[in-house]
A = this chain, B = another copy of it.
Amino acid sequence: MLAGMAQGKQVERQARETLRALGARPTAQRVTVLAELMGESNDLTAQELHQRLRRRGSRLGLATVYRTLGLLSGEGAIDALSHRPGEISYRWCGDHHHHHLVCSSCQNVVELGDCELTPWLDRVAADHGFVATAHRLDVAGLCADCRAA
């Protein structure tokens, strides 16, 4: 409990620093949104973030959540995922390149380590006259818990 609160403060500090590094004002609302993403292992939509923070007593508006997420993903500070049809979800990610393993049943996300795709990709892209600049690999599966149930 105490550890959780201390961790929350530290995450807020990290969020503030990240915002400042982007040249954006670290307002209370922005810090709240980014800190929430930093403390969440799954990806969240703007709607989910808004509801969650509102329930927790925050007075922030939905438009602000959208604007903040747009700002952060535009600067590359968070990833915009689109594995949910018709909506956009966001996830905080460190600086390293990685991929996600999503459970089809419980939607939990596991982050995979650095990938070994790049050499293969570069070769295949070149075969088609392309230069590969980015890639996204999403793997769906069933986690151990859901397979048991």
Which chain A residues have a beta carbon within 8 Å of chain B's beta carbons?
A: 80, 82-88, 101, 103-104, 110, 112, 116-117, 120-121, 124-125, 128-144, 147
Contact = CB atoms under 8 A, between A and B. Distances in A.
A144 B132 CA distance: 11
Nearest to A86: B88
Contacts of A121: 139
Contacts of A117: 117, 137
A132 B101 contact: yes
A6 B136 CA distance: 39
Given A85-B88, A101-B125, A135 B138 contact: yes
A43 B144 CA distance: 35
Given A135-B138, A137-B137, A144-B129, A85 B85 contact: no
Counted per complex, copies of this chain come to 2
Nearest to A83: B82
Contact of A125 (B133, B135, B141): B141
A101 B80 contact: no
Nearest to A135: B139
Contact of A120 (B116, B131, B133): B116
Contact of A139 (B80, B132, B138, B144): B132
